[in-house]
Amino acid sequence: MNNTDQDRKKAWKLQQKQLARDAFPIADALLESLFDAVDACVEEAGCDHTLRFTTVWLSDQQQPEDKVIAWLREHGGFCDCEVLANAADHWERNR
C-alpha cells in the first residue's frame, strides 16, 4: 500500500470514528456513568436478560429512554450484560 492509500485509509477511519461519536445518544460522560452503573448492578445481581438496570438508570438520570435504548440495541445491547459487552465496547472504541 502506498502512502496515498494509507493516508486515505487513515482519513476514512477517523471520519468513521467521528460519525460514531456524533451518533452517541447522550453525552460521553453520561454514557460512561451508565456503563459503570449497569456494570456494578450486573456484578452484584447478575443479568436477567432484560434492560432492567439500564432503564432504571435512564429514568433516575432523566435521560431519553427511547433514544438511548435504540442506540444500545443498534450496537448489540439487548439486555444489561450485552449493553456492557457490545454497546460499551463500541463506545469505548469510538470515544
**Integer Cα distance of 56 and 20 in angstroms:** 25
For the stretch 8-18, pLDDT in tens is 988 999 999 99
C-beta atoms surrounding 2 within 10 Å: 7
CA atoms within 13 A on the CB side of 93: 14
Question: Is residue 2 predicted with pLDDT exceeding 90?
Answer: no
As separate numbers, helices (DSSP H) first and strands (DSSP E) second, the chain gives 6, 0
Closest CA to 54 of 18, 85, 20: 85
Give per-residue pLDDT as tens, 29-88.
Answer: 999 999 999 999 999 999 999 999 999 999 999 999 999 999 999 999 999 999 999 999
Quick one: pLDDT at residue 33?
Answer: 98
Please give the grid coordinates belonging to residue 13.
477511519
Q: Where are the chain's structural domains?
A: 3-94
State the cell numbers at 89.
465496547
Tell me the per-residue pLDDT of 20-38, one tens digit each, with 9 for 90 and over.
Answer: 999 999 999 999 999 999 9
